[in-house]
Amino acid sequence: MTADASDRRDQLWTPRTRPFIASVLALMTFIAFESFAVTTILPVAVADLADTGWYSFAYAATMTTTLFGMVIGGNWADRSGPRRPLVVGGTLFLLGLLLNVVPVDITVFVCGRLLQGAGGGIDSVILYVLIARHIPDASRPRMFGLLTTAWLVPSLAGPVVAGLLTELTNWRVIFGIVLVGSAASLLSLLRATRGARDASTVASRTSGRRAWTHIVGRNGALAVLASGLLIVLHLSAQVNAPSSAAVVVCASFALVVTARHILPAGTLLLRGAPQQLIVLRASLGAGVTTANLYLTLYLQSERGFPPASAGLVIAVAAGGWALGAWCQGRFPSTHVSHRRLIVCATFLVAVGPAGVLTYTATALPLWIVVVACVVMGTGMGIAYPRVSSATLALASPDERGAYSSALQTGESMGIGVVTALAAAVLVGGGTFTTIFAILTGLACATILVACVSGDADERP
């Protein structure tokens, strides 16, 4: 019995899977480090290359192109196997990092961020496909647990380490470290998966490569359109005020129309409990991401804090996220439990922007913001797993894939829109206090949506 238990424990780490697992974890760690580090170093990078009008776009560029990268990556893997899209996605990601290391101006830097998003979106899907191929069913939960750890450690250490390196050297060094580490990890992963071929790869070669239209598909084309509209929204901050307003109105209207076709029917009108949860996830993600992004900028540009100190605030908030995730795991997975925890979490999340709003408008000490960010992070750690679980429980079995995708797509679009709005406020002469007042209002609206979606959970 003991030997059998030991065999089951060792099933994940075998001579065959060990190189693959190590490569995946290394690649995910570098990607996660860059994702959290960029929040800390972006104010310095943008100040070096341009003005703060480009700040939101420089951050959100990766998310705009991740939208269609994920769709294309999934379709491509289904039709030709994972190896080729892994190579293309990895190459785009590395090229984007290279443009971040040696940008001559902000446009080159933003182009690098766009390429990172496209390549990262493709490879994020491919990694899951590879895990399904190389890791046995019984060991996959442990593998996904390791992936969570690969994100948790950078979330706690990444902002502070990046801040210290920026102070001691240069912000370009951060992207250089991620470039070298990601390149080595990708090469190792390609070596570990060498020779893995399947019928889909052979079929794709014998049927002729018609088709980028088959790989992109309708959803991919809509995702490309949504990404383009988000880019237009961010670029509108770079033109004069009257023209900017017209561009924002037109692009926003087109984005709403596009979102109606990308997201499940009724989502934008809050019709249906799963649809309401999609909106809830988008609102939570957009509000918290924008709050962290502009808090970092505010601390460095207005209060004079060095990057490491600003990064420490973000790292502490990530610790709250881990605490919230642990706490919610102590409760049962029922509709009633989902509802109560989600509603409670939205109140906790609202403390974050409200606390920062108070800080920007008064002379309160920084520890008030730190506490508010920990509370906000705790709320997010509670909300994310419960929103996902509740959505999957409410969706029918044949719709779970679509709703899982919609949770991520809706959040990416929400972040793009809210960060573009924040950039427009600053470029238009607004203040950080205005931005956090808007985010506090969004948090209050999120509480209302959570209460409505909770009621919907109990309706037959």
pLDDT band at 99 (very low <50, low <70, confident <90, very high): very high
Over the stretch 169-186, which tens digit does the pLDDT of each residue have? Answer: 889 999 999 999 999 999
Among 8-17, 98-107, 143-152, 252-261, top mean pLDDT goes to 98-107
Task: Return the structure tokens found at 76.
Answer: 């491509």
Percent of the chain predicted with pLDDT > 70: 85
Instruction: Confirm whether pTM is higher than 0.75.
Output: yes
- Do 269-460 and 11-146+155-211 have the same topology in CATH? yes
Of the candidate ranges 3-7, 353-357, 381-385, the one whose mean pLDDT is the lowest: 3-7
pLDDT for residue 218: 65
Percent of the chain predicted with pLDDT > 90: 23
pLDDT band at 95 (very low <50, low <70, confident <90, very high): very high
> What average pLDDT score do residues 105-121 get?
90
pLDDT for residue 456: 45
Task: Show me where the domains of the chain are located.
Answer: 11-146+155-211, 269-460
Q: Supply the angle between the helices 171-192 and 18-49 in degrees, to the nearest 10.
A: 160
pLDDT for residue 5: 45
Task: Return the structure tokens found at 251.
Answer: 């692009």
pLDDT for residue 237: 66
pLDDT at 421 over 50: yes
> What average pLDDT score do residues 199-205 get?
46
CATH code, residues 11-146+155-211: 1.20.1250.20
Evaluate whether the domain defined by 269-460 bears CATH number 3.40.50.300: no
> What average pLDDT score do residues 248-254 get?
81
pLDDT at 1 over 50: no
pLDDT at 212 over 60: no
pLDDT band at 203 (very low <50, low <70, confident <90, very high): very low
> What average pLDDT score do residues 410-422 get?
84
> What average pLDDT score do residues 289-316 get?
88
pLDDT for residue 6: 44
pLDDT at 201 over 50: no
Going by C-beta distance under 8 Å and a sequence separation of 6 or more, which residues neighbour residue 371?
A: 355
pLDDT for residue 351: 95
> What average pLDDT score do residues 75-91 get?
81
